[in-house]
Structure 1
């Protein structure tokens, strides 16, 4: 598996991969001082909470897989955000 395939598989398994990377980059940039990175951590936590709820809901409804495939995630997220417009 090459690096690009490894990234795809990581993104496939972790819907908050981008948020995780942004938080990590912030830590490295700020010598592991968490204070300037609070917004990144909050965003990552919100992302994890959202996708955990999606997985629980899909599991309760017997929808497999519990974590939606990449191609479905954008629509699920957009539908959720449209509820608040």
Structure 2
């Protein structure tokens, strides 16, 4: 058997839950017309890209856990003045 499945809805391991939810809500509201929700999709991609780079940097620096907890992420975002994506 392989690894145990990760909990996708865990805010400590998934920093982009809000962006993903907004994308799905947009699709629901626009009858699944993807062209209407491209801004939401791009924001989700940018979120994933940003936090992935943070995770790689922490891993390279030997900081554990690789992904900052939800509280640590909020402190980081407050320090830079909001979401950079």
Quick check: TM above 0.5?
yes
Q: CA deviation at 1:47?
A: 0.3
What RMSD in Å do the two structures reach over aligned CA positions?
2.2
- Separation in 1 of the partners of 2:27 and 2:51? 23
- Separation in 2 of the partners of 1:61 and 1:80? 20
Partner residue in 2 for 1:25: 25
Q: Which runs of 4+ in 1 moved over 3 A?
A: 78-82
- The C-alpha deviation readout for 1:27-79, integer Å capped at 9, x for no partner, is 11111111110110010001000000000000000000010011110122234
- 1:59 corresponds to 2:59: yes
Partner residue in 2 for 1:46: 46
Structure 2 residue ranges without an equivalent (≥5)? 1-6
Q: Secondary structure at the match of 2:73?
A: helix
How many residue pairs get matched?
Answer: 77
